[in-house]
């Protein structure tokens, strides 16, 4: 199968691209060029096309690669991508976020709308995704969406206990400095390894008929509470990290007023993954603790942290 991966050198793409090559597929990656592809095997078997997402004639360039399936990890303009390739490409696989569903009404949270999405960019992308799903069903094309929680693992600074990906915050964790959390610290946080997320995309591609017309959550087998997140980092860094619990009003108003940060502690990221497991055989290989440890090891290996 000829697979085209948009964003093939990013956090998910760095894991997905080798998986597809090793499974015997012909792989083309579409990349902006900002993140270079690795030079080791099996990347030497990957065709690379440098192209800015959404630029003039971008779908024509992708169409020239003659993909049987396309994975759009960036998912910034799914309608145009679908229009440009719908008469030649058989399977469209898009990457989304569980934050698109809004504040969960239950956990584990199913892959359906829970409430209004709090983020304008995600709202627009989710609407585009749903519209593309309807069109694909009418045209007899396979559509699949993979909805990710917090992406973790090597190649990127992992989520810190202040709701960001700050090296300075990780240095403070390494020093054992106090972390402030909303009382009682039981909000669920679901870091999932980028390798496992890539595995979900691969499962969908390898089981096209069962993945058609599906919006799947992907995630780890379980989530951590915010307190467990702090405890896990303490164990990884070999320190005791104290926790101060404050009211949600103070936390949201004073400690982390930016919604992109405090939402991690409000949204209970615990996606239901029974559907993707049953339909296409997805099983996560890493626990949340293991993926956090892998990410921190990567930071040490890359000399981002000293120890």
What pLDDT shows up at residue 278? 98
SS3 assignment, position 39:
coil
Query: What's 2-151+191-217's CATH class?
Result: alpha beta
The helix/strand/coil state of 42 is: coil
- Given the structure tokens 């030649």, which residue do they identify? 88
Could you read off the pLDDT of 30-56 as tens digits, one per residue?
999 888 889 889 999 999 999 999 999
Global pTM reads: 0.97
Centroid of chain to Cα 110: 16
128 and 177 Cβ atoms separated by less than 8 Å: no
For the chain, give the mean pLDDT: 97
Once rounded to an integer, what is the mean pLDDT over residues 193-207? Answer: 98
Q: Name the CA radius of gyration of the chain, rounded.
A: 20
pLDDT tens readout for residues 284-295: 999 999 999 999
Q: Which of 10, 18, 24 is nearest to 42 (CA)?
A: 18
The fold of the 153-190+222-268+286-301 domain, in CATH, is UDP-galactose 4-epimerase; domain 1 (3.90.25)
Q: Mean pLDDT throughout 229-246?
A: 98
- The predicted-structure confidence for 72-125, as pLDDT tens digits, reads as follows 999 999 999 999 999 999 999 999 999 999 999 999 999 999 999 999 999 999
Percent of the chain with pLDDT over 70: 100
DSSP state of 100: G
Task: Using CB atoms within 10 Å of the CB of residue 230, give its burial: 0 to 12 exposed, 13 to 18 middle, 19+ buried.
Answer: buried
Sign of torsion over alpha carbons 55, 61, 65, 69: positive
Task: Give the start-to-end residue ranges of the domains of the chain.
Answer: 2-151+191-217, 153-190+222-268+286-301
- Sequence-separated (6 or more) residues with CB below 8 Å from residue 101: 109, 111, 112, 113, 114, 115, 117, 147
Which pLDDT score, from 0 to 100, does residue 307 have?
Answer: 76
User: Scanning the structure block, which residue is given the tokens 């936390």?
Assistant: 251
**Which H or E run includes 290?**
helix 288-301
End-to-end Cα separation, the chain, in angstroms: 45
């Amino acid at each position: 199968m000829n697979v085209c991966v948009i964003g093939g050198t990013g956090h998910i793409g760095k894991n997905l691209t080798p998986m597809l090559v090793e499974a015997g597929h012909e792989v083309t990656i579409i990349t902006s060029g900002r993140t270079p592809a690795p030079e080791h095997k099996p990347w030497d078997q990957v065709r690379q096309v440098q192209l800015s997402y959404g630029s003039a004639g971008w779908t024509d360039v992708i169409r020239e690669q003659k993909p049987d399936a396309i994975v759009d990890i960036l998912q910034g303009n799914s309608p145009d991508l679908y229009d440009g390739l719908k008469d030649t490409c058989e399977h469209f696989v898009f990457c989304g976020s569980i934050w698109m569903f809004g504040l969960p009404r239950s956990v584990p949270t199913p892959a359906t709308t829970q409430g209004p999405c709090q983020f304008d960019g995600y709202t627009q992308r989710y609407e585009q995704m749903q519209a593309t799903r309807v069109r694909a069903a009418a045209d007899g094309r396979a559509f699949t969406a993979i909805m990710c929680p917090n992406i973790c693992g090597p190649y990127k600074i992992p989520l810190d206990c202040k709701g960001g990906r700050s090296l300075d915050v990780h240095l403070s964790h390494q020093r054992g400095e106090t972390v402030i959390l909303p009382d009682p610290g039981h909000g669920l946080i679901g870091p999932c390894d980028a390798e496992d997320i890539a595995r979900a995309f691969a499962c969908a591609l390898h089981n096209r008929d069962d993945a058609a017309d599906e919006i799947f959550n992907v995630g780890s087998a379980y989530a951590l509470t915010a307190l467990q997140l702090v405890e896990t980092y303490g164990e990884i860094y070999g320190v005791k990290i104290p926790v101060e619990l404050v009211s949600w009003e103070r936390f949201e108003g004073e400690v982390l007023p930016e919604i992109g940060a405090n939402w991690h502690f409000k949204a209970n990221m615990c996606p239901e993954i029974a559907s993707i497991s049953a339909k296409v055989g997805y099983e996560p290989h890493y626990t949340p603790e293991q993926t956090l440890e892998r990410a921190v090891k990567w930071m040490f290996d890359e000399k981002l942290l000293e120890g």
